[in-house]
Amino acid sequence: MPPGALLLLKALHAAGVELTLASGSDEADVVAEAKALGHAALFEGRIHGAVGDLKIEAKKIVLERILSEIGSLRAGMFVTFGDGPVEMRETKRRGGYAIGVATDELRRFGWNWSKRARLIRAGADLVVPDFSRWKTLLELLGVRA
C-alpha cells in the first residue's frame, strides 16, 4: 500500500464514513487481499470485485453495481480514490468527486507522471502521488478525524 493509505482508511472509518472497496479484479481475490493486508474490517462487507467475464470493462461494471446500490439520492455524495481513468470518468459522470492516485508502483511512493497525466485527462478533481499527506486530504474533504 502507498504511504498513509491505511492511516487514511482508519481515519475515514473512525469519522463514520462508509467505505467501499471496488476493483476490476476477481472479487474473491480482492476480499482475500484486503484480509491479508489487514483492512477488510474497515469496509464492513462492502468489498466488490468482478464476478463475471473479466475481459469486459470490469471496473465500470463494479462501479455501476455499487452506485446503483447507493441510489440516486446519495450518488453525488461520494468520493472515489482510484488509479485508473475508468473510475475517474464514471465517478464524474455520476456527480461524485474523483481523486486520482498516481503512485510510482515500483518505489511504492511518489509520482508516476504518465499515470498522473492519464488521470487528469480522465477528469480527476485532484491527483495525489500517495497518501503521505492523509491529514490534508481529510481537511480537503471536510472530514474531522
Q: What does 22-52 look like in DSSP terms, one character per residue?
A: EEEEEHHHHHHHHHHHT-GGGGTT-EEEE-S
**Amino acid found at 93:** R
**pLDDT of amino acid 68:** 77
Report the alpha-carbon distance of residue 145 to residue 4 in Å, rounded: 14
**Is the C-alpha dihedral spanning 85, 86, 89, 94 positive or negative?**
negative
Report the alpha-carbon distance of residue 130 to residue 137 in Å, rounded: 11
Q: Encode the chain (145 residues) as per-residue pLDDT tens digits.
A: 899 999 999 999 999 999 999 888 888 999 999 999 999 999 999 998 887 665 666 777 777 777 777 766 565 678 999 999 999 998 898 888 999 999 999 999 999 999 999 999 999 999 999 999 999 999 999 998 7
Whole-model pTM?
0.89
Report the half-sphere exposure of 39 (CA within 13 A, side-chain side): 20
**pLDDT of amino acid 1:** 86
**pLDDT of amino acid 73:** 58
What structural domains does the chain harbor? 5-141 (3.40.50.1000)
